[in-house]
Copies of this chain bind each other. A is one copy, B any other.
């Protein structure tokens, strides 16, 4: 595995490369994003036609945009989509008009509290048009006429999403989901995409137990579309993680699944706690990212969410200040490391049954016990074997053993391997 700084730099380079693209819940920006992701991991790209019913929703018309600006009477572009994809209200209907500033104001969005930042705004399901700009830009615009133009199209087309699968030893699946619908916002969610991509590459190298499915889809409608089209697969999803806001400099936050005690919840909390990283765990809330859909009561999947600073928890959230400088190689590498460690635990976590449950089996004659009794410093490995034997009653997993014994999960898993090798436990 590449050193942490190297993989952090590579993830950051991917964020920078994806940053300029104008993504939305449909359209060519998503396709261009997936093209680039596809250079790192092979993708299966799905195109779902406008009008397709997906659960309670309908795939909307596809939105594409080529140009947009507000120009003064001298023809100078005071707001220009070419400078930032955030300048246009997402899903703006086309417009070509000239109007006085007073009329234009109703279509302008700013952040008065952060006068140099451009907000991110959308209107997916109500037809309207608008521009987002810095308050100081607006303040500098003299009254008078302005030419406004949005060269966009809203037309029947497709919703685009992609999957990458790392095959496992079993068909049971772990899903890793990240939204790809946000335009030029780095932390939310290009950092999540980058961590997912490099996590997938690492997993492929270690022949995992579970089959890992990475889902790159637009938020809400994309997850809903995936769920609608994978009704039978959902039954095989054992665990899942939504990755978002994976690169800011805040401490890690794990948001539990709706169940609160799903295995993914316990694994993430175990890894965060035992790694002694500063972190925060929050209960499930029905807002945030696509855990909303995976954890809706009809599905109620064991899907948590890992972020650094959580959804809407930082001033730069959904503004032009969420740019590539806002995310760091080190924090993305740290987020990736937590995923790596957590999935290593999840992948090895099993419930075993002690095949010799009456009294302790004689470990010594199987070469599993230090032959010289009476040493007061009992070894961790031997303790781990005793713990695994004692709790392998079909109701406790290795993670249970690690948490109850206080031993490291790796020590417990190695003990289970030794006992399994000696025929003393079965999975």
**Could you tell me which A residues sit within 8 Å of B by CB distance?**
55-57, 90, 119-126, 220, 223-224, 227-228, 258, 283, 285-287, 292-293, 295-300, 312, 317-318, 354, 356-362, 364-365, 371-374, 376, 378, 383, 386-387, 389-393, 404-405
Q: Of the candidates B123, B124, B283, B298, which one forms a contact with A358 in the assembled complex, judged by CB atoms under 8 Å apart?
A: B298
- Determine whether the beta carbon of A286 is less than 8 Å from that of B55: no
- Across-interface contacts of A392 in B (CB, < 8 A): 297
Q: Tell me whether A362 and B297 are in contact in the complex, defined as CB-CB below 8 angstroms, given that A124-B373, A312-B376, A373-B124 are known contacts.
A: no
> How long is the Cα–Cα vector from A317 to B228 in the complex, in angstroms?
65
- Determine whether the beta carbon of B360 is less than 8 Å from that of A293: yes
- Across-interface contacts of A383 in B (CB, < 8 A): 286-287
- Across-interface contacts of A359 in B (CB, < 8 A): 55-57, 223-224, 227-228, 293, 296, 298-299
- Across-interface contacts of A390 in B (CB, < 8 A): 258, 286, 292, 295-297
- Determine whether the beta carbon of B297 is less than 8 Å from that of A354: yes
- Determine whether the beta carbon of B126 is less than 8 Å from that of A299: no
- Across-interface contacts of A56 in B (CB, < 8 A): 356, 358-362
- Across-interface contacts of A298 in B (CB, < 8 A): 354, 357-359
Report the copy number of this chain in the oligomer: 3
Q: Of the candidates B286, B287, B372, which one forms a contact with A121 in the assembled complex, judged by CB atoms under 8 Å apart?
A: B372
Q: Who on chain B is nearest to A315 by CB?
A: B376
- Determine whether the beta carbon of B123 is less than 8 Å from that of A372: yes
Q: Tell me whether A364 and B126 are in contact in the complex, defined as CB-CB below 8 angstroms, given that A299-B358, A373-B121 are known contacts.
A: yes
Min CB gap A279→B, angstroms:
22
> How long is the Cα–Cα vector from A125 to B373 in the complex, in angstroms?
9
Q: Tell me whether A297 and B125 are in contact in the complex, defined as CB-CB below 8 angstroms, given that A224-B359, A286-B386, A312-B376 are known contacts.
A: no
- Across-interface contacts of A57 in B (CB, < 8 A): 359, 362
- Determine whether the beta carbon of B374 is less than 8 Å from that of A318: yes
Q: Of the candidates B361, B372, B376, which one forms a contact with A318 in the assembled complex, judged by CB atoms under 8 Å apart?
A: B376
